[in-house]
């Protein structure tokens, strides 16, 4: 198994994700990008329960999205097998960006960039990123640097 398996994902475009022309609804790309980074942290070994607040856990922080953008370079059509790569980057102690690149048939068809900010749920003030998330980002970037050599 490759050492960067948590940064590479796959999905197949399904009928319910497309419009009548057989091309995905634009909003699905943002959803897939968010699902991909969630899947990536779980594959890396971080439980979503340790990152995301819910009624059942006692997490006192949240990671709201403060910026997102999506760029389409070619139509993403029904049945397309997408190769998805995740590239997280720490911006500062409370911000990080997840770049998600979508490839179909060896061609880059889309890219999504999502920026998250760590905040205290009660005060809504910025706080440091969770250590486990920092380790995920660091490991991901280390892998990218190794591949560049």
Q: What is the largest CA-CA distance in the chain?
A: 47
19 classed as catalytic: yes
User: Which residues, other chains included, contact 94 with Cβ-Cβ below 8 Å and sequence gap of 6+?
Assistant: 117, 118, 119, 126, 127, 128, 129
Catalytic residue among 4, 19, 120, 128: 19
> Would you tell me the crossing angle of helices 27-44 and 131-148 to the nearest 10 degrees?
100
Q: Tell me the C-alpha to C-alpha distance, in Å, between residue 27 and each of 32, 56, 73.
A: 9, 29, 15
The structure tokens 């995301």 sit at 52
Which residue numbers are catalytic? 19
């Amino acid at each position: 198994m490759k050492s960067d398996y948590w940064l590479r994902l796959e999905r197949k475009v399904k009928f319910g994700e497309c419009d009548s022309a057989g091309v995905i609804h634009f909003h699905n790309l943002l959803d897939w990008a968010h699902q991909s980074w969630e899947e990536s942290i779980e594959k890396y070994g971080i439980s979503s329960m340790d990152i995301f607040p819910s009624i059942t856990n006692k997490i006192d922080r949240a990671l709201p999205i403060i910026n997102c953008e999506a760029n389409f370079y070619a139509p993403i059509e029904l049945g397309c097998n997408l190769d998805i790569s995740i590239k997280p980057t720490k911006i500062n102690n409370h911000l990080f960006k997840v770049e998600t690149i979508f490839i179909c048939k060896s061609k880059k068809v889309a890219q999504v960039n999502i920026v998250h900010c760590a905040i205290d749920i009660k005060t809504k003030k910025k706080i440091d990123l969770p250590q486990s998330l920092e380790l995920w980002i660091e490991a991901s970037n280390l892998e990218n640097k190794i591949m560049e050599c």
